[in-house]
A and B are shown apart, each in its own frame.
Chain A
Amino acid sequence: MNNQAVNRPQRDRTRPIAESQVFDLQLSYRGYRINKLCNSLCDAGNRAAYKADEAAYLARFELTPAERDLIKARDFGGLLEAGGNIYFLIKLGVVTGNGLYYMGAQMRGESYEQFLATRNDSGAT
């Protein structure tokens, strides 16, 4: 293998992937507070605390008012734009009763049922 591959740019930001954002250092910096909140939900005690009093739980994190609003609105597309990482947002989905496929349907602007109807075999959930 020659060294040319090393010198070819790995990313071309003028060509977005699937009209969406790729999670990189700029997005990770922007979404750090959101992802930190989501990361805390890998603990059963924290999940219970979140469910018991969402506002109080969110107040533990240094979220901006806009970030809190996106969380309260369950606006997963907005949270991605704000730097949330999809794998961390899934944890927020779990604790708020929004599974990945629901989140995906919302991003597509479809109902859950409409989204399932687009799949090859929606029995594989």
Chain B
Amino acid sequence: MGAIIAGIATSHVPSIGGALDRGKAGTPAWKPLFDAYVPVRAWLKELKPDVAIMVYNDHGADFFFDKYPTFAVGAAESYAIADEGFGTRPFPAISGDLRFSQHLCESLVYDEFDITVCQEMRVEHGFLVPMHLCFDHAAGWPVASVPIAVNVLQHPLPTARRCFRLGQAIRRAVQSYDRELRVAVIGTGGMSHQLTGKHFGLMNPDWDRDFLDRMEDEPESLYTLTHQELMERFGAEGIELIMWLVMRGALSPQARRVHRNYYAPMTTGMGLLSFEETL
């Protein structure tokens, strides 16, 4: 009885959070980014999802390489804000949906996704930036959340196709839930960025736009790309785009694209796409 009603793909660049916190969202350099999310927030306010499944990656705030899960799913009543090295940002606590999370975890494991179940998870910019871009939160977050952390740091990473299939399994889990539940799936990260070596700051707007086009029109052409092909187009850190494929797999092929934006001022191509399901 659960239903996926919407999907969003968005970059989660940490400087977006810094710009918001320092009151720079309205400056000429940041306006093209922040303005794009105004209609997204209005749209989501209309759609009223009960739960946002946030597919993101931790950047060393909660997980360390002593034990590193490929897919980690939150199953808690709430999630703390992590200190990722520069203090914790002042946000309302992140509420979970414990009952749905437990169903999701059971469904994924029996669907042969060997996830790590997390009863404590601290979330950081990979999760928080998309949250505050997509949801008004002055009076608390309007949705419960389920964090799903994906290993995009330490190769071997899950393949693009595995990420897409995780999305399909999430869809089956939502649809098999025994209560009415409106779910939005948010895939985060990317687009092109290279943060190591002498080509630090390299972006590839042409490939980024191509990826946006393919997400809309022929997502199946993205699932078979190898990590090598993805990194040659999008940079070593741009491999985060595999998390967008989790969202796309959770949405139906005929989902309608609603919003699209692209802006590349500094070192990362910042992309946005949203989809709505016809229910």
Residues on A lying within 8 angstroms of B by beta carbon are 1, 4-6, 8-12, 15, 17-25, 28, 32, 35-36, 38-39, 41-44, 47, 77, 80, 85-88, 90-91, 94-95, 100-101, 103-105, 107-109, 115, 118-125
Asked, given contacts A20-B196, A42-B83, A124-B266, whether A11 binds B201 with beta carbons under 8 Å apart, the answer is no
A94 touching B231, Cβ below 8 Å: no
Stretch in B137-145, B177-185, B218-226, B250-258 touching the partner: B218-226
B226 touching A121, Cβ below 8 Å: no
Stretch in B24-32, B71-79, B95-103 touching the partner: B24-32
Chain A residues with CB under 8 Å of B159's CB are 5-6, 10
* Interface assignment of B188: CB less than 8 Å from any CB of chain A: no
Within the complex, which residue of B231, B232, B237, B266 is in contact with A122, where a contact is CB–CB below 8 Å? Answer: B266
> Separation in Å of the A39 CB from the closest CB of chain B?
5
- C-alpha gap A107/B196 in the complex (Å): 7
- Chain B's interface: helix, strand, loop or mixed, by majority? loop
A44 touching B223, Cβ below 8 Å: no
* Interface assignment of B227: CB less than 8 Å from any CB of chain A: yes
Chain A residues with CB under 8 Å of B196's CB are 18, 20-21, 80, 86, 107
A104 touching B201, Cβ below 8 Å: yes
21 contacts between A and B (CB under 8 A): A1-B223, A11-B226, A17-B194, A20-B196, A35-B60, A35-B65, A42-B82, A42-B85, A44-B83, A80-B197, A91-B84, A91-B85, A94-B86, A95-B85, A104-B200, A107-B196, A119-B267, A121-B266, A122-B29, A122-B266, A124-B265
- B85, B226, B266: most-surrounded residue (chain A CB, <10 A): B85
> Separation in Å of the A71 CB from the closest CB of chain B?
15
* B153-206, CB < 8 A from A: 153-157, 159-161, 194-202
A5 touching B223, Cβ below 8 Å: yes
A10 touching B264, Cβ below 8 Å: no
Within the complex, which residue of B30, B60, B220, B226 is in contact with A85, where a contact is CB–CB below 8 Å? Answer: B60
- C-alpha gap A38/B85 in the complex (Å): 9
Chain A residues with CB under 8 Å of B65's CB are 28, 32, 35, 85
Asked, given contacts A42-B84, A115-B201, A120-B265, whether A11 binds B227 with beta carbons under 8 Å apart, the answer is yes
Within the complex, which residue of B29, B198, B224 is in contact with A107, where a contact is CB–CB below 8 Å? Answer: B198
Apart from A10-B226, A18-B196, list 15 A-B contacts with CB within 8 A.
A5-B160, A5-B224, A17-B232, A20-B236, A23-B236, A35-B60, A41-B85, A85-B60, A85-B65, A88-B60, A90-B59, A95-B85, A104-B195, A122-B265, A123-B265
A23 touching B154, Cβ below 8 Å: yes
